Amino acid sequence: MIKVEGISHNFGSMRVLHDIWFEVPEGEVFGFIGPNGAGKTTTLRMMATLLEPAQGRILVDGYDVVERPREVRKILGFMPDDFGVYEYVTVQEYLDFFAAAYAITPTARRRTVDAVMELTDLVQLRDRLVQAMSKGMKQRLAIARTLLHDPKVLILDEPANGLDPRARIEMRDLIEQLQQMGKTVLLSSHILTELSDMVSSVAILEKGRVLASGPVGDIGRKLRPDRAVKLRLLEYPDGCTTPFKALPDVVDAERGPDGDLRIMYQGGDETVAQIVTAAVHAGFSVVRVEPERDDLEHIFLEVTRGELQ
Amino acid sequence: MSAAEKTAGRASSTAPRPPNRLVAWWREKREDPNPILVKELRSIFRTKLFIRFLYLSTGLLALIVLMFGGTVASGSMPPAEVGQIVFQIFFSVALSVLCIFAPAHAAASLTGEIEKGTYESLILTGMDPARIVIGKFMATYAIFALVLVAFTPVVGIAFLFGGISPWNVVWGFYGLLLVLAPASAYGVALSARLKSTRVAIFLALFTFVPFSMMAMGALFGFGELADRSWNLTMEGPFWFTEALSTRFFEWDTLLLVFVLPLYLTGMTVWLFLASAIAGVRPSSEDRSTPFKYWTLASTAGITAILFGVTSLVPGHDMDEAGGVFLIFAGGAILFYALIFQNEPPLPPRVWEIRQAERGALTRRLMLFGPGAAPTTRFAAMMIVLSSLLFAGAIALPRWIWFPGIDHSLEADVGLLIMALGHAAVALFVLCSGALMRVVIRSGIAARVLSIAMFIGLIILPFLATLLIESGSMSHIDDDPPFLIRFTPIFHMILAWQVLEDHELHRAVEIAAPLFFYGLLAFVCWLGIEGRVRRVRVLVEKQRAEREKRAEEQARISVEPAGSPEDVAAALARVGAAAPEEAAELAGANVGEVVARTSAPPAPPPDADSETPTPTADAETPTADSETPNADSDAETPAADSDADKA
C-alpha cells in the first residue's frame, strides 16, 4: 500500500534521511520505530504530502506523493504528532467543519460525522467544547477527523504519546477496530511497549537509516535463527535435558537462570510440539510451555545494537 | 378541451422549471457556506476578547465623538457645520479602527493556524487554497462589518446637529466597507506568506497604517479638487459622501467617485488574495496563473479607465494630461514585470502531469504556463500589449472628441515614445530579474537585486553626470548628457519634450535607450531559455536514474523462485559465479549444480513462439534477434521483467 523508495532528505546542510527503503503491506498495522530524532516524523510528513523528499519517491496506493498529492490526500488520513485543534467549537462542529473541508455534501455530512463519532466513542461528547477536552479525548477527536473521508491508509505519528494507560488501551482497541475495517495503519513511536501489541510489521529507523524492515517474526528469525522455548516442569531430574537434545531440530537444551529448561531449536511450531511430546514421553510433568516471542523490544535492541542516542 | 387535457396543460404550465445557474449557485452557497467562514464566526463570537473589544471600541468611539462634538458645538459655529464635523470625526475614527485592527486580525488568520498546529490538517483535507483564503478573508470582513454595525448608533449624534442626510451616512458606510476589503485582504496575504503571527501583525500595522494615512491625505487633496469643481460644502476625508448623495448620476462623479474606487479596490483585493492563494499553495503547484488572470483583467480595466478619465479632460489639456496618465500607467507596466520575475525554472511537475491529461488546446497554453520561460513569455507579451493599449486608450478620446486639434501628431508620437520606453524598460526588468531568479535560485534575493539594479540605473547616471560635467545638467531637456540617455526614465523626459514642446525631430533619440534596454532584455531572455533547458535535461536525467534505481531495488527484493539448485545453476549459467561457488552461495548440492550447468540447456517450451522465454534470452545472445522489434522493445516493462528473471 505504501512504498518508500530510496528517499533522502536534508535540513540545510544536515542530512536527516539516508536512502530509506521499505514497504507497508495493505491491511496491516505497521510500526515505524526509532528513537527521537531518527527521522520518523520527516518520513511520515513526506508520505502525507507535506514535505518533498530531496531524492527518491514514495508511492501511496500507486500514487506518487509529489506528482499526485491530491489523489494521495483523498486516500490518506494523517494525524501529526503535535496536532492542534480549534478550541472554541464543539466536537460536532469540529467534525462537521472538517467534513465540509473534505467536500462531503451537506446531506451526507451529518451521517458521516455521526458514524465517525460512534466509531471513536465521541457521541457523548458531541456538544462539548474542544477546549474543555482531555488529551486522550482530543487524540480520539484527531483520529475521528482523519477518518471522515474514509481513507484507505491512516498515518498516526506518535498516537499514544502522553496518554494515560486507560486512554492507551482505548487507542489500541480503536486501531484494532480500524484494521478489522481493512485500513492500513502506519504508527510511529519511540516507545516500544506502545506498539508491541498492535503491529505485525515494522521498520526500524535510526539516525536517518532503516536498519531493518518487514514482519516482526521474519526480522526476529533473521536476527536469531535459533528460537527458544521455555519448559517449566514440576520436578527436574538429573539429565532432564537429554531427551530433548536427542531431537533432530533441537540445537541445545539447558537449565536457565530461573531454573526452567531453555531449549533452543530450529523450525516452527511443529518442533515445539515435538519437544512437548518428548517431555511427556520422558515422564516429565510439564507445568508450562512458553515459546520466546520475537518481541519488539528485543528486536529493536538487537537491530540498533545499543547505538541509541 | 377535455378535463384531462386541461389538467395536463395546467400541470405542464406549473411544472417547476430548473433554476438558472445564478440561483443554483446562490442556493448552494446558502445551504453549504464556506466552512472556514462559519467556523471563524462561531469561534470569534465565543471569545470574550472579541465581545469586550466590541463594547470598548464602540464606547470609546462615542466618547471621542461626544468630546469633539461638544468642543466644536460650544463655539459659534452653526449647528449644521457642527453636524458635518461630528460626522467626519465619526467616520475618520471608524476608518482608523478598521485600518488598524482589520489587517492585524487578518494577519493572524493563517499564521495562527500554523502556530496552533491546525494548518496541516486543513491543507490535508484537499480543500482548495482559494477556498481557504477566501474563507479567511470573508471571516475578517464579516467580523469588522459587524463592528461597523455596532458603531452605527454613534453616528446618530451627528443628526442632533443637522447638516447631514441619511444618504451621507449610507455612502460613508459604503466607503468604510470599501476600505475594509483591501485592509482584510492585505492582512490575509501577509499571513499566507509568513510563519509567525507576531511578525505578520507587526508588518500589517507598520505598512498598512502609514499607507492608509497617506491615502487619507490624498483623499483630502482630491476633496479640495472636488470642492473647486463641484462646489461641495462638506470638508474632510468623507467629502465624497456629499458628491455621491447630490450628484451620483453626473457621469464624472459616477466614474471618478464610484466606478474608479470600486475598480481599484476590487483589483487590489484580487491581487492580495491571489498573492495569499499563491502563499498557501505548495511550491509543487502552479502559483503564477492567478496573477496572470489578474494581469489580464488589470490591463483591460486600466485601458477602460484611461479612456474614460482622458475623455473628461478638456481638449487643450489633453496632451499634458495624457502624458501624466501614461507616466502613472507606466507604474502598472513595471509592476507586471516585478510580479512575474519570480518563477522557478520549471513548471510544477503536478501541473505538467495534469496538463498532459487535458485537451490539445489546454496543452498549447503551456507555452504561457508556469515556469520561468513560459511566464517570461506571457509577461513580455502583456508588457508590450499593455504599453500600446494604454497609449492608445489615452490617444483615442482626442481622436474621437477633438479630431482637428493642433499638434495631435506630436501628442501621438510623444505617447508612442513613452509607451515604447515603458515596454523596453519593463522587459529589461522582467528578463534580468527572471534570469537572476533561475541562476541564484532565490526569489527574494533576485527581486531585491532587480529592484536595487533598477534604482541604481535611475540614480547612478545622474550622479556620474554631476561628477563628470555638472554644468550639463542645466540643459538636460534640450541636450541631455550621454549617460542620462540610458536611465530608465529618459524616455519620459524625451516624450515630454515631444508632447509639450512639440519637438518632433527629437523622436529618433528614443532609439538609443530602446536599443540598449531591448538588447539587454533579449540577452537575458536567451539566458533564461538556455538555463531552463539545461535544468530540464538535468531533472529528466535524475528522474530516469531514480526510476532505474527503484527497478533495481525491486528486483533485489524479489526472492528468487525455485530450489537452491535452480538459483545456483542460473547464477553459474549467467557467469555470475563458478558452479561450485554458486552452489555454496545458494546452499545447494554442488554435484547437482555442476551436472546441470555442464548439460546442454533444455529448449524452452515455447521456443517456437515469437516471444522468447527469459531463459532463451539469457542463454542465447542471438535470441533477441528472433524477436520482432527486439530493439524497440528493449525498454518496455516486459523486456525489463525478462531481464530481471534472467
What CATH number should be reported for the domain holding residue A45?
A: 3.40.50.300
B435 and B378 share one domain: yes
Which residues are registered as beta bridge partners of A253? A263
pLDDT at B342: 83
* Section B568-576 average pLDDT: 53
Last residue of a domain, one of A220, A238, A258: A220
DSSP code per residue over B474-523: GGTTTS--TGGGGSTTHHHHHHHHHHHS--GGGGGGGHHHHHHHHHHHHH
- The per-residue pLDDT string of chain A (309 residues; one tens digit each, 9 = 90 and over) reads 888 888 888 887 788 888 888 888 888 888 888 777 788 888 898 888 888 888 888 889 888 888 888 888 889 999 888 778 888 889 999 999 999 999 888 888 889 999 889 888 888 888 899 888 888 888 889 889 988 988 989 998 888 777 777 777 888 888 888 888 888 999 887 666 666 667 778 888 878 888 777 777 666 666 666 677 888 888 888 888 888 888 888 888 888 777 788 888 877 778 888 888 888 888 888 888 887 765 666 666 666 654 543
Last residue of a domain, one of A172, A189, A220: A220
A62 and A178 share one domain: yes
DSSP code per residue over A195-255: HHTT-SEEEEEETTEEEEEEEHHHHHHHH-SSEEEEEEES---TTTTHHHHTSTTEEEEEE
**Nearest CA distance, A238 vs chain B (angstrom):** 39
Q: Among A250-254, B164-168, B191-195, B589-593, name the one with the lowest average pLDDT.
A: B589-593
| ipTM exceeds 0.95 | no
A52 and A171 share one domain: yes
Question: Do B349 and A49 lie within an 8 Å CB cutoff?
Answer: no
Q: Give the confidence band of B630 by pLDDT, cuts at 50, 70, 90.
A: very low
B370 and B467 share one domain: yes
In the three-class reduction of DSSP (H, G, I as helix; E, B as strand; rest coil), residue A76 is classed as strand
Q: Among A218-232, B380-394, B486-500, name the one with the lowest average pLDDT.
A: A218-232
CA dihedral A188, A192, A198, A202 (to 10 degrees): 60
Rg for chain A, CA atoms, rounded = 24
Q: Give the confidence band of B608 by pLDDT, cuts at 50, 70, 90.
A: very low
Q: Which three three-digit cell numbers place residue B190?
A: 501577509
Structure confidence by residue, pLDDT tens digits, B38-52: 999 998 988 888 889
Task: Decide which of B291 and A257 is more confident.
Answer: B291
| Kind and range of the H or E run holding A156 | strand A153-157
Task: Name chain B contacts of A87, Cβ cutoff 8 Å.
Answer: 43
* Section B18-32 average pLDDT: 77
CA distance B383 to B253: 31
**AA identity, residue B575:** G
Q: Which three three-digit cell numbers place residue B505?
A: 525631430
For A96, nearest residue in chain B (alpha carbons): B35
* Section B565-579 average pLDDT: 56
Return all residues near B212 (Cβ < 8 A) that are at least 6 apart: B95, B99, B179, B183
Q: Is residue A302 part of a domain?
A: no
pLDDT at B255: 87
Best mutation target among B121, B143, B349 (most A Cβ atoms within 10 Å) is B121
Return all residues near A65 (Cβ < 8 A) that are at least 6 apart: A46, A47, A48, A49, A57, A58, A59, A72
- Nearest in space to B291 (alpha carbons), one of B232, B224, B370, B231: B370
A194 and A265 share one domain: no
Q: How many folded domains does chain B comprise?
A: 4
CA distance B107 to B117: 17
A57 and A22 share one domain: yes
Q: Is residue A303 part of a domain?
A: no
Question: Do B546 and A84 lie within an 8 Å CB cutoff?
Answer: no
pLDDT at A96: 92
Q: Is residue A298 part of a domain?
A: no
For B36, nearest residue in chain A (alpha carbons): A97
- Nearest in space to B177 (alpha carbons), one of B58, B262, B65: B262
Work out the number of other CB atoms within 10 angstroms of the CB of residue A287: 11
Cα of first residue to Cα of last residue in chain B, in angstroms, is 86
Q: Is residue B15 part of a domain?
A: no
Q: Give the confidence band of B560 by pLDDT, cuts at 50, 70, 90.
A: very low
**Nearest CA distance, B346 vs chain A (angstrom):** 14
Q: How many folded domains does chain A comprise?
A: 2
- Nearest in space to B120 (alpha carbons), one of A142, A270, A80: A80
pLDDT at B499: 80
A282 and A181 share one domain: no
Here the contacts of B476-480 (C-beta below 8 Å, separation 24 or greater) are: B477/B501
A24 and A120 share one domain: yes
DSSP B195: S
* Section B271-287 average pLDDT: 86
Q: Give the confidence band of B184 by pLDDT, cuts at 50, 70, 90.
A: very high
Give the distance, in angstroms, between the CA of residue B181 and the centroid of all CA atoms in the same chain: 17
B445 and B495 share one domain: yes
pLDDT at A220: 63
pLDDT at B633: 33
Q: Which three three-digit cell numbers place residue A80?
A: 501529526
Q: Is residue B500 part of a domain?
A: yes
| Kind and range of the H or E run holding A60 | strand A55-60
A86 and A194 share one domain: yes
For A150, nearest residue in chain B (alpha carbons): B125
B593 and B616 share one domain: no
pLDDT at B596: 67
Q: Is residue B398 part of a domain?
A: yes
The answer to whether B426 and B336 are in contact (CB under 8 A) is yes
pLDDT at A56: 82
Task: Name chain B contacts of A93, Cβ cutoff 8 Å.
Answer: 39, 42
**Nearest CA distance, A258 vs chain B (angstrom):** 38
Chain A, chain B: beta-carbon pairs less than 8 Å apart: 99
Distances (CA, A) of A114 to A124, A126, A144, A145: 11, 9, 10, 12
CA distance B528 to B525: 5
Q: Flag whether pLDDT at B363 surpasses 90.
A: no
Q: Flag whether pLDDT at B425 surpasses 90.
A: yes
Domain residues for the domain of A239 are 224-292
Q: Which three three-digit cell numbers place residue A99?
A: 467534513
A24 and A138 share one domain: yes
Q: Is residue B157 part of a domain?
A: yes
In the three-class reduction of DSSP (H, G, I as helix; E, B as strand; rest coil), residue B454 is classed as helix
Q: What are phi and psi of A228, to 5 degrees?
A: -135, 150
Question: Do B350 and A67 lie within an 8 Å CB cutoff?
Answer: yes
The answer to whether B43 and A88 are in contact (CB under 8 A) is yes
Tell me, what CATH number does A286's domain have?
A: 3.30.70.100
Q: Is residue B13 part of a domain?
A: no
Among B124, B284, B549, beta carbon nearest to A48: B124
Last residue of a domain, one of A164, A193, A220: A220
Work out the number of other CB atoms within 10 angstroms of the CB of residue B61: 21
DSSP A36: T
Rg for chain B, CA atoms, rounded = 36
For B33, nearest residue in chain A (alpha carbons): A100
A60 and A171 share one domain: yes
A156 and A240 share one domain: no
B182 and B290 share one domain: no
| Kind and range of the H or E run holding A78 | strand A76-79
Q: What are phi and psi of A236, to 5 degrees?
A: -120, 90
A29 and A134 share one domain: yes
Question: Do B42 and A89 lie within an 8 Å CB cutoff?
Answer: yes
For B114, nearest residue in chain A (alpha carbons): A84
CA distance A137 to B609: 65
| Kind and range of the H or E run holding A178 | helix A165-180
Q: Which three three-digit cell numbers place residue A12?
A: 540545510
**Nearest CA distance, A10 vs chain B (angstrom):** 17
Determine if residue A133 is left, alpha or beta; phi over 0 gives left, psi from -120 to 50 gives alpha, anything else beta.
beta
Domain residues for the domain of B581 are 565-599
pLDDT at A290: 82
Task: Decide which of B589 and A78 is more confident.
Answer: A78
Give the distance, in angstroms, between the CA of residue A87 and the centroid of all CA atoms in the same chain: 30
CA distance A308 to A207: 9
- The proportion of chain B whose per-residue pLDDT surpasses 70, expressed as a percent, equals 82
Q: Tell the residue number behind the cell numbers 486543513, with chain if given.
A: B122
DSSP B604: P
Distances (CA, A) of B545 to A52, A65, B244, B348, B538: 18, 18, 67, 20, 11
Question: Do B350 and A69 lie within an 8 Å CB cutoff?
Answer: yes
pLDDT at B139: 94
Last residue of a domain, one of B223, B239, B273: B273
Q: What are phi and psi of A82, to 5 degrees?
A: -105, 55
Question: Do A85 and B118 lie within an 8 Å CB cutoff?
Answer: yes
Task: Name chain A contacts of B118, Cβ cutoff 8 Å.
Answer: 83-86
Best mutation target among B45, B124, B132, B551 (most A Cβ atoms within 10 Å) is B124
Question: Do B124 and A50 lie within an 8 Å CB cutoff?
Answer: yes
Last residue of a domain, one of B273, B303, B326: B273
DSSP B563: -
B452 and B580 share one domain: no
Task: Name chain B contacts of A214, Cβ cutoff 8 Å.
Answer: none
* Section B337-347 average pLDDT: 85
Q: Give the confidence band of B386 by pLDDT, cuts at 50, 70, 90.
A: very high
pLDDT at B557: 54
Among B44, B126, B353, beta carbon nearest to A73: B126
pLDDT at B577: 54
B86 and B189 share one domain: yes
Query: In chain A, how many H helices and how many E strands?
Result: 11, 14
B114 and B231 share one domain: yes
Q: Which three three-digit cell numbers place residue B46?
A: 465565543
Question: Do A100 and B35 lie within an 8 Å CB cutoff?
Answer: yes
Task: Name chain B contacts of A138, Cβ cutoff 8 Å.
Answer: none
Return all residues near B308 (Cβ < 8 A) that are at least 6 apart: B255, B259
Query: In chain B, how many H helices and how many E strands?
Result: 27, 0
pLDDT at A301: 63
| Kind and range of the H or E run holding A2 | strand A2-11
pLDDT at B266: 94
Q: Is residue A301 part of a domain?
A: no
Residue A113, chain B, CB below 8 Å: the answer is no
A138 and A206 share one domain: yes
| Kind and range of the H or E run holding B211 | helix B197-230
Question: Do A21 and B553 lie within an 8 Å CB cutoff?
Answer: yes
Best mutation target among A18, A51, A81, A98 (most B Cβ atoms within 10 Å) is A98
